[in-house]
Amino acid sequence: MAGVGLAGPLQQRLPGLEERLCRLCHLRNDEDSADAFLMQASATLETLKQLSEDGGENSTFSNLVQLYAQAVLDITYFEENQLIDEDFLEVSSLQKVEELIHVLSEPEALIKESGENEPLSVLGVELLECLYWRRGALLYMFCHTVKGRKEWLMEKMETFKKFLSEGVNYLVKMLGFRCSVDLNEEFVSQDADTARLLHEGIFSDTHLLAMMYSGEMCYWGLNYFGKGKPPLQSTDSGSNSEQHCSARTEIVDFRDMGEKMLKKYIDVCEGPLREHEWNTRNAKLILDYFRQLST
C-alpha cells in the first residue's frame, strides 16, 4: 500500500505540479523538442494519480515517490532549457533558478515529511543522482553566465557565492551516491580500465562532467572570494528565500574541493579514458592556479 503518512504530503503537492505542467503546455513552442518531456510528465502524473487513488500492490511508497520525482525532472527540464536558450537574460531569471532548485528538492522533502530518512533507498541511485546533478548543473550554467556581468555581480555578490557553494555541494554529493564497487581479481585482470572506472564510482559521462563543473565553480569561488581578496561591496541585502538557502548551505573549501575533483578528473581522463580524448587542458590550468595560491 502507499504507506502511512504519504497521502497527505503527496496530495498537497500534486495540484501545484499539475498547474505548472498545464501552464508550460500553453506556453510551449510547437517546434520545441522538449515537448516530449512535457508529454511524458503528463502521462507520469496520470499514472501517479491513479495509483495513489486506487491503491493495490503497485501503490508502494517507493513507486509513488519515484513517479513524482520523474514528473518533476521532466517538467523542470523543459523550464531549464528555456532559461538556457534565453541566456538567463530575463529580469526574473534569478527567481526562476531559485524556484527550480526548490522544485527539484521536493521529492526529498516529500520523503522526509512522510517519516522516511533514506532518500536513496526510496528513490534509487539513478533518480537521486539525477536530482542532484540537475540542481548542480543548473547552478553551474547560471554562474557561468552571470560571472561576466559586472553590474549583476556588484548587486548580487552574496547570491553568487551562495550559488557556487550550493552547486559544488550538489555535484559532490551526486558523485558520492555510488559506493566503490568491489571487484573480483579475474574481472580486474581482464579489463583493468573499466575496473578502475567502476572502483572510482564513474558510470557515465555525467560523473566526469560533475567533477569538471565542480572544479570550475571552486575556481570561480577562489577567484572572487579567495584569501587575500579585498571585501567586495554588494548591494545584495538578501531576500527571505536567499537567507533560508544560505542557512542550509554547507561551507565549501573551494581550494581543497577543487583540487580533489580536478585531480581525479585528470587521472581518469588520462588513464582509463585516454583513448576517448577528454580535454584536460582547462583542468590543469585551474590546478596551476590553485598551486600558486599556496605558495
Range with the lowest mean pLDDT among 4-8, 64-68, 144-148, 252-256? 4-8
Query: Is the pLDDT confidence value at 178 over 90?
Result: no
Average pLDDT over residues 127-134: 97
Range with the lowest mean pLDDT among 141-155, 185-199, 208-222? 185-199
Q: Round the average pLDDT of the chain to a whole number and report it.
A: 83
Average pLDDT over residues 6-33: 73
Query: What pLDDT does 37 receive?
Result: 87
Query: Is the pLDDT confidence value at 187 over 70?
Result: no
Query: Is the pLDDT confidence value at 218 over 50?
Result: yes
As given in the structure block, the three cell numbers for residue 237 are: 541585502
Higher pLDDT, 233 or 78: 78
pLDDT in tens, 58-117: 788 899 999 999 999 999 999 999 899 899 987 789 999 999 999 999 999 999 988 877
Instruction: Give me the DSSP letters along 56-118.
Output: STT--HHHHHHHHHHHHHHHHHHHHHHHHHTTT-STTHHHHHHHHHHHHHHHHHHHHHTT---
pTM value? Answer: 0.86
pLDDT in tens, 17-29: 888 888 887 766 5
Average pLDDT over residues 165-175: 95
pLDDT in tens, 234-263: 556 544 444 333 334 566 899 999 999 999
Label residue 231 by pLDDT band (50, 70, 90): very low
Average pLDDT over residues 139-144: 97
Range with the lowest mean pLDDT among 115-124, 125-134, 174-183? 174-183
Q: Name the residue with cell 577543487.
A: 258
Query: What pLDDT does 226 receive?
Result: 76
Query: Is the pLDDT confidence value at 233 over 80?
Result: no
**CA 126/CA 110 separation, integer angstroms:** 18
Task: Report CA-CA distances (Å) from 295 to 220, 288, 290, 291.
Answer: 19, 11, 9, 7
As given in the structure block, the three cell numbers for residue 129 are: 543522482
Which run of H or of E encompasses 135? helix 125-146
